[in-house]
C-alpha cells in the first residue's frame, strides 16, 4: 500500500501561513522526514526539466534514473495526463519513500487556450476578469496533469526595451499589486487541493524588471527607498494573498544576486512578510552564481543559495551534486535541509498529492476542459477588454472607427494580417497556432458578403520591398484598408530585449506608402510591448493597439473594428516618443528645475518630456465628460477618511466603459515625492447619455511612504488630488493632512 494512504492517521489543527494553507499535515511531514536519507531529502529539493522529442515529452535517461532513486522532487514541462501518470507512477510505486512528484509549467497566459498577453489583459483594468482568466488557466492546465505554475510575474517594468515587460502589469506599483493578488487568488482558488487549481509562484524576486539598459539578465542597482516603494509592493501583495511559492530572479541587486541574497529571501520575504512557502531558484540561477563572480565553483554556489533561503534548485542539479557533501562537511546544518524539504512536502500536502497522487489525472476531464467553450468564450471577452484605441480621427464627417459592415472591399495589409503563431505571443504555453483565428479570418467571418483580400507587403524584419507593389495595388482598389503591423511572438518575452523598439524591418515604410495611397486606413498594431510609433501616430487616422491577444485574437479585433464591442482598454504603461526618452513613466519627480520655457530646465531639446501616450490613456467610440470634482473636507486627521467625488457623463451616442482614475501628490515632504501616484480607480459602465457620481475614499494609510529615516509613514501637510481619464487629463483639488 502506498505511503500516501497513511495520511489519515494524522489529525492536527488547521494552520494558516503566508504561503499555503493546509488542514494539518505537520506531524505527517515530520514523520516522513525522519525516515528519509540525506540524499532523498536533497532529491526533494531538485527539479528537472522534461524535454520534447518528435514522439512527445521525454525525460533523459539520467533524470529517469535519478527519479527512480528518489532524488527528484518535481518535474517541469511534463504535460498530458498520460505522460504525467507515467512519471507519477514511478515516484509513488517504485521509490523507497513513495513521495509524489509535483509537476510545473509556465502557464503564463494560458495552457492550450491562449488568453491575451499579461500586459495586454492588464489594460482591461478589470480585476475580476483577470482573476477569472487565471482561474480558467489553472483549470485547463490542471486537467492536463499539472499542479504548479511559474506565474504570476509581478515585476514592475518601466523600460519597454526589456522583452519581459510583456509578462507583467506595467509601470505602477499600486495597480501591479492589485493584479498580483488577483492572479494568486485565481490560480490557487479557495481550495488548493481541488484538481482545478494550481500552486502559484510569484516571480521574479526581486526587481527583475529594472535591468540596466533594459537588457535581459542585466544588473539592477537602486536605492532601498525605490526598491521598497516601487518594486517590492506587488511581491508583498502576492504573499499577503497566500501565494504558495516564490521564484528568485536572475539579476543581482545592488551587488548581490537574488539567488544568494539572504536579505531579500530571509530578512524581507520570510522575516518581514512572514512567507512560509517554497522558494525556488530560476532556471539554473544557482549555477550562475559562478558567472556572477560571487562563487568560485558550483559547490560554493549551492552553499550560498541554501544559506540565503532557496529551497529548490530548478534544473541546475547543483543541490543534488553538492548539498550532501556540504552537510557531511559541517558547512550546512541538516536542519536547514529539513526546513526546506518540510516546506516542499507541505506544498505537496496542500495540493492533496499525498492523499491521492493521481487526483489531477483524469483523461475524460482533460478532453472536456481543453479548448472548451468556457475557455474560448472567456478568452474572447478578455481579448475585447484588452484592446486600446489610441487614435480615431474624423474622416468624411465622422470618426473613422467603427467601420461600417456595409463596406464592400476590404484590404488587410501587413506581415501580421494572417499570422497565427504571432497572435499567440511569447510564453504561449502548449498553445497550438492551428487553433488561432487571425485578423484576416476574423474580418472575413464578420463580413461574409464582402470581398476581403490580403497582402503581406513585407516581412517583420529585413529590407525586402518586393511586396510593396502588390500591397499598394490592393489598397488603391479597396474601400478601406486595415494595416496589420507590430512584433512577432519571438520579438518579445525572455531574452528578447531590443535596443530600438520602433516597427522593425520595412513596416514603417510600408505604412507610409499605404497611407499615401489615400484610402481610409486603420492601423492595428499587434505587439508585446509599447512601440515607438510617433511618426505613425502623426499620419494614421486611426490606431488600434491590439497587442497579441491569443487564440481568439482575430474575432476580438474584428468585433472592435466593426463596432460590436466598444473599446475600453486603458494603458498601464506609458508609450515613449522615441527610444532615447526611456524610461518615461507618469510618476516621475518634478526635479529642482521643472520643465519650462527657460533654457536651464529639465527637458530635451528635440521632444517634450511627456510620453506619446500617457499611463491610463485610451479612447472609446463614445465621449466621457468629467465635472464637479469635490473633496469633502479641506483638512483631515490621521486615520480619518476623506471622500472624493466626481461626476462622469457619457455624452456620446453609444454605451461605453470608462476607467476613472484617482491620483495624489504630496506637495512637501521630508524626501522628494512623485508628481502623481495612482491611489484608486473605478471601471464605470455608462449608457449613452447617462451620468454617474463616482466616489473614492482616502485615509492617511494611502499617503504613506518611506521618509528620510526609512520609516513607512505619512507626514502632515498639503496634498493635491487629481481625478480623470488618464494621468495627464484630470480635474484637480486638494486637502491638508494635520497631525
Output the average pLDDT for the chain: 95
Q: Where are the alpha helices (DSSP H) in 108-191?
A: 118-122, 127-143, 173-188
pLDDT one-digit tens code per residue, 472-486: 999 999 999 999 999
Residues across the chain:
739
| Mean pLDDT within 73-85 | 94
- Residue 64's pLDDT is 86
| Mean pLDDT within 361-366 | 96
- Residue 14's pLDDT is 35
Q: Which of 155, 159, 252, 282 is catalytic?
A: 282
Q: Which of the four pLDDT bands, split at 50, 70 and 90, describes residue 59?
A: low
pLDDT one-digit tens code per residue, 503-521: 999 999 999 999 999 999 9
Please indicate whether residue 282 is annotated as part of the active site. Answer: yes
Distant-in-sequence, close-in-space partners of 4: CB < 8 Å, separation ≥ 6: 92, 98, 100, 353, 354, 355, 356, 357
Q: Is 57's pLDDT higher than 80?
A: no
Q: Classify domain 624-738 at the CATH superfamily level.
A: Immunoglobulins (2.60.40.10)
Q: Is 52's pLDDT higher than 60?
A: yes
- Residue 569's pLDDT is 98
CB 468 within 8 A of CB 514: no
In the chain, what percentage of residues exceed pLDDT 90?
Answer: 93
| Mean pLDDT within 422-430 | 95
Residues forming CATH 3.40.50.1700 domain(s) in the chain = 377-565
CB 701 within 8 A of CB 707: no
Handedness of CA 279, 280, 282, 286 (dihedral sign): positive
Q: Which of the four pLDDT bands, split at 50, 70 and 90, describes residue 3?
A: very low
Cell 494524522 sits on residue = 10
- Residue 23's pLDDT is 53
Closest CA to 544 of 514, 524, 570: 524
Q: Is 730's pLDDT higher than 50?
A: yes
Q: Which of the four pLDDT bands, split at 50, 70 and 90, describes residue 108?
A: very high
Q: Which of the four pLDDT bands, split at 50, 70 and 90, describes residue 11?
A: very low
Q: Which range among 22-31, 441-450, 613-622 shows the weakest confidence by mean pLDDT?
A: 22-31
pLDDT one-digit tens code per residue, 254-275: 999 999 999 999 999 999 999 9
Cell 465628460 sits on residue = 625
Q: What is the pTM of this model?
A: 0.96
- Residue 238's pLDDT is 98
| Mean pLDDT within 331-359 | 97
| Mean pLDDT within 662-675 | 98
In the chain, what percentage of residues exceed pLDDT 70?
Answer: 95
- Residue 50's pLDDT is 87
Which residues of 86-243 form beta strands (DSSP E)?
Answer: 102-105, 148-149, 201-205
- Residue 58's pLDDT is 61
DSSP annotation of 264 reads I
- Residue 597's pLDDT is 81
| Mean pLDDT within 222-236 | 98
Residues forming CATH 2.60.40.10 domain(s) in the chain = 624-738
HSE-CB of 507 using CA atoms within 13 angstroms: 27
377-565: in CATH 3.40.50.880: no
pLDDT one-digit tens code per residue, 565-587: 999 999 999 999 999 999 999 99
CB 404 within 8 A of CB 410: no
DSSP annotation of 220 reads B
Q: Is 307's pLDDT higher than 90?
A: yes
- Residue 7's pLDDT is 37
Q: Is 4's pLDDT higher than 60?
A: no
Q: Is 87's pLDDT higher than 80?
A: yes
Q: Which of the four pLDDT bands, split at 50, 70 and 90, describes residue 598?
A: confident
Cα separation, 298 vs 318, whole angstroms: 6
- Residue 739's pLDDT is 86
CB 488 within 8 A of CB 452: no
- Residue 48's pLDDT is 94
Amino acid at each position: 500500500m502506498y505511503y500516501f494512504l497513511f495520511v489519515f492517521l494524522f489529525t492536527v489543527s488547521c494552520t494558516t501561513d503566508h504561503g499555503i494553507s493546509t488542514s494539518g499535515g505537520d506531524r505527517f511531514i515530520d514523520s516522513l522526514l525522519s525516515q528519509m536519507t540525506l540524499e532523498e531529502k536533497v532529491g526533494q529539493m531538485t527539479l528537472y526539466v522534461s524535454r520534447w522529442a518528435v514522439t512527445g515529452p521525454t525525460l533523459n535517461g539520467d533524470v529517469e534514473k535519478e527519479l527512480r532513486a528518489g532524488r527528484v522532487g518535481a518535474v517541469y514541462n511534463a504535460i498530458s495526463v498520460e505522460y504525467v501518470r507515467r512519471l507519477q507512477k514511478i515516484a509513488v510505486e517504485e521509490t523507497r519513500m513513495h513521495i509524489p512528484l509535483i509537476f510545473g509549467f509556465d502557464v503564463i497566459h494560458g495552457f492550450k487556450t491562449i488568453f491575451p498577453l499579461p500586459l495586454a489583459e492588464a489594460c482591461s483594468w478589470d480585476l475580476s476578469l483577470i482573476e477569472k482568466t487565471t482561474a480558467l488557466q489553472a483549470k485547463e492546465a490542471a486537467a492536463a496533469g499539472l499542479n504548479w505554475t511559474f506565474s504570476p510575474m509581478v515585476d514592475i517594468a518601466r523600460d519597454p526595451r526589456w522583452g519581459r515587460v510583456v509578462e507583467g502589469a506595467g509601470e505602477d506599483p499600486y495597480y501591479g499589486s492589485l493584479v498580483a493578488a488577483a492572479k494568486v487568488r485565481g490560480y490557487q482558488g479557495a481550495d488548493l487541493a481541488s484538481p482545478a487549481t494550481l500552486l502559484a509562484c510569484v516571480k521574479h524576486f526581486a526587481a527583475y524588471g529594472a535591468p540596466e539598459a533594459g537588457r535581459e539578465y542585466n544588473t539592477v542597482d537602486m536605492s532601498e527607498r525605490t526598491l521598497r516603494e516601487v518594486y517590492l509592493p506587488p511581491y508583498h501583495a502576492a504573499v499577503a494573498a497566500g501565494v504558495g511559492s516564490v521564484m528568485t530572479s536572475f539579476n543581482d541587486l545592488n551587488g548581490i544576486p537574488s539567488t544568494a541574497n539572504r536579505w531579500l529571501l530571509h530578512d524581507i520575504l520570510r522575516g518581514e512578510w512572514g512567507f512560509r512557502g517554497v522558494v525556488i531558484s530560476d532556471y539554473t540561477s544557482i549555477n550562475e552564481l559562478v558567472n556572477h563572480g560571487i562563487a568560485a565553483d558550483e559547490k560554493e554556489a549551492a552553499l550560498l543559495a541554501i544559506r540565503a533561503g532557496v529551497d529548490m534548485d530548478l534544473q541546475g542539479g547543483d543541490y543534488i551534486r553538492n548539498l550532501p557533501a556540504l552537510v557531511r562537511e559541517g558547512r550546512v546544518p541538516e536542519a536547514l535541509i529539513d526546513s526546506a524539504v518540510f516546506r516542499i512536502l507541505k506544498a505537496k500536502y496542500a495540493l492533496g498529492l499525498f492523499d491521492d497522487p493521481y487526483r489531477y489525472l483524469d483523461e475524460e476531464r482533460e478532453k472536456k476542459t481543453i479548448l472548451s467553450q468556457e475557455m474560448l468564450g472567456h478568452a474572447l471577452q478578455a481579448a475585447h477588454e484588452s484592446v486600446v484605441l489610441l487614435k480615431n480621427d474624423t474622416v468624411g464627417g465622422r470618426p473613422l472607427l467603427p467601420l461600417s459592415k456595409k463596406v464592400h472591399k476590404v484590404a488587410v495589409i501587413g506581415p501580421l494580417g494572417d499570422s497565427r503563431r504571432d497572435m499567440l505571443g511569447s510564453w504561449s504555453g502548449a498553445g497550438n497556432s492551428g487553433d488561432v483565428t487571425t485578423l484576416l479570418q476574423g474580418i472575413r467571418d464578420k463580413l461574409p458578403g464582402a470581398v476581403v483580400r490580403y497582402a503581406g507587403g513585407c516581412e517583420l524584419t529585413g529590407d525586402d520591398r518586393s511586396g510593396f507593389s502588390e500591397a499598394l495595388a490592393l489598397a488603391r482598389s479597396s474601400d478601406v484598408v486595415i494595416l496589420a503591423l507590430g512584433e512577432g511572438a519571438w520579438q518579445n518575452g525572455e531574452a528578447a530585449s531590443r535596443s530600438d523598439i520602433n516597427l522593425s524591418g520595412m513596416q514603417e515604410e510600408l505604412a507610409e506608402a499605404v497611407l499615401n495611397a489615400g484610402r481610409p486606413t486603420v492601423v492595428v498594431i499587434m505587439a508585446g510591448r509599447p512601440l515607438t510609433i510617433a511618426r505613425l501616430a502623426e499620419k494614421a487616422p486611426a490606431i488600434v493597439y491590439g497587442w497579441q491577444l491569443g487564440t481568439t485574437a482575430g474575432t476580438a479585433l474584428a468585433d472592435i473594428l466593426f463596432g460590436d464591442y466598444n473599446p475600453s482598454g486603458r494603458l498601464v504603461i506609458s508609450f515613449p516618443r522615441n527610444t532615447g526618452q526611456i524610461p518615461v513613466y507618469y510618476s516621475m519627480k518634478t526635479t529642482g528645475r521643472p520643465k519650462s520655457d527657460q533654457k536651464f530646465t529639465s527637458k530635451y531639446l528635440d521632444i517634450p518630456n511627456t510620453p506619446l501616450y500617457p499611463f491610463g490613456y485610451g479612447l472609446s467610440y463614445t465621449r466621457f465628460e468629467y465635472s464637479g470634482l469635490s473633496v469633502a473636507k479641506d483638512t483631515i486627521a490621521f486615520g480619518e477618511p476623506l471622500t472624493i467625488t466626481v461626476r462622469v457623463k457619457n455624452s456620446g451616442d453609444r454605451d461605453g466603459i470608462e476607467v476613472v482614475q484617482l491620483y495624489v501628490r504630496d506637495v512637501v515632504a521630508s524626501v522628494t515625492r512623485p508628481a502623481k501616484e495612482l491611489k484608486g480607480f473605478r471601471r464605470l459602465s455608462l449608457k449613452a447619455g447617462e451620468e454617474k457620481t463616482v466616489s473614492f475614499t482616502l485615509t492617511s494609510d494611502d499617503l504613506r511612504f518611506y521618509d528620510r529615516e526609512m520609516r513607512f509613514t505619512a507626514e502632515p501637510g498639503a496634498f493635491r488630488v487629481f481625478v480623470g481619464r488618464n494621468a495627464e487629463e484630470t480635474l484637480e483639488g486638494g486637502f491638508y493632512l494635520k497631525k
